[in-house]
Structure 1
Amino acid sequence: MILDIENILVSSDIITEQFCCDLDACKGICCVEGDAGAPVTLEEIGGIEDALDTVWGDMSAQAQAVVDKQGVAYTDRDGDLVTSIVGGKDCVFTCYEGDCCLCALERAHRAGKTSFIKPISCALYPIREKRFANGTVALNYNRWDVCKDAVKKGRELQLPVYKFLEGPLTRRFGKEWYAALCEVAEHFDELCE
């Protein structure tokens, strides 16, 4: 079911499915799996470039070489701007803490070293945002087998996707929009009757 929440199309899976990242179990595999980098906007590229000196030392030598050659982002085969990757899969901003993959951008932000957090597409995951030519925005729940532990943990906690992502959804769409989403979620069962 597709819901129209203040002119943003929202897949009902965002309300009905449960999810909670489990870094202890997955080790941040989403930063190093896939065939393209994280979707980014031109504005985010500017923020990433501003933070680059701060995170440079946390990036691998291979990642630094990729950024030196092609920059922090590129256009993928679908025509989308995405973060640059190493070896056809690893985001250049992947850094390691023990056996966990982390985002160097987010780590620098949490340490108060930069104002840029990380691409909103990363913060919103497992929600994927799609913008259509007419300006319509749609939000879909993306199922990915590397997140099976997050689904399991979300079910254990009975934590819906939209509640797990309250911060990123509010950051992207605002408090009023998030409140409208919560209102729809509270009455979702009635909508389905």
Structure 2
Amino acid sequence: MIAIDNKLVSDEIVEKQFVCDLVKCKGGCCEDGDAGAPLELNELDELIHSYEIVKPYLTEAGIQSIEEHGKYVYDKEFGWVTPTIKGSMCAYGFKDENGIIKCGIEKAYNEGKISWKKPVSCHLFPIRVSKSKEDEDLEYLNYEPRPDLCRAACKLGKHLKVPVYIFLKESIIRKYGEEFYNALEAAAQYAEANK
């Protein structure tokens, strides 16, 4: 574990390699799971304020699910999450012409319509963040790729020699800031030099 401020970062985040291979996985992380994407409290407002702008990018089934269940729902295990379409694909997702699941929120962001990219839990995947039950200020960052779904991403990461933390640089900085990322990078470089 690497300790930075009140975060405990799994060694795997600097040791393992990972690069999403959407052609192979088809964005399956957007439909494979026990609930929708976990949301932070500030993201609930983002969904409310951006919904009408994001709506044209969504499927009819996604819109129906959101209008039936709400822009976000509460899950006993994961807290606030995005709604899903019949327990499968995230309601904010859609399939492109190649059958790859994309995010309607991210598409609106990429087209300059909104300033919020997507839920940070999606942006950080395959890093999962959890809070300590004993100390609510303490967070654990673990590397949790899906065994079958992410096999191609693990293989591509090894081939390209891209560590998880480098692949996720933008999302780590988005969540924790530049200073945190620089500390993580320094820890990774120190570990590599002392192998």
TM-score, scaled to structure 2: 0.93
Distance 1:69 1:46 in 2: 18
Q: In 1, are the aligned partners of 2:75 and 2:81 still within 8 Å (CA)?
A: yes
Which of 176, 184, 188 is residue 191 of structure 2 equivalent to?
Answer: 188
Structure 2 counterpart of 1:32: 31
Query: 1:35 aligns to what SS in structure 2?
Result: coil
Distance 1:155 1:79 in 2: 31
Distance 1:109 1:55 in 2: 9
Offset of residue 9 of structure 1:
0.4
Query: 1:90 aligns to what SS in structure 2?
Result: coil
Structure 2 counterpart of 1:141: 143
Residues 1-40 of structure 1 aligned to structure 2 (within 5 Å): 2-40=1-39
Once the two structures are superposed, residues 55-85 of structure 1 have per-residue CA deviations (whole angstroms, 9 ceiling, x without a partner) of 2122122211221122121111315111111
How many residue pairs end up in the alignment? 191
Distance 2:103 2:20 in 1: 14
Q: In 2, are the aligned partners of 1:48 and 1:116 still within 8 Å (CA)?
A: no
Residue 162 (1) aligns with residue 161 (2): no
What 5-or-longer segments of structure 2 have no aligned partner? none
Q: In 1, are the aligned partners of 2:38 and 2:78 still within 8 Å (CA)?
A: no
Q: Which of the two has greater strand per residue? A: 1
Displacement over 4 Å in runs of 4+: 189-192
User: In the superposition, relative to structure 1, how do residues 79 and 108 fare at CA in structure 2: closer, same or farther (>3 Å)?
Assistant: closer
Q: State the identity %.
A: 35
Distance 1:49 1:142 in 2: 29
Distance 1:171 1:93 in 2: 21
Offset of residue 96 of structure 1:
2.0
Q: Give the RMSD, CA atoms, in angstroms.
A: 1.4
Distance 1:79 1:125 in 2: 15
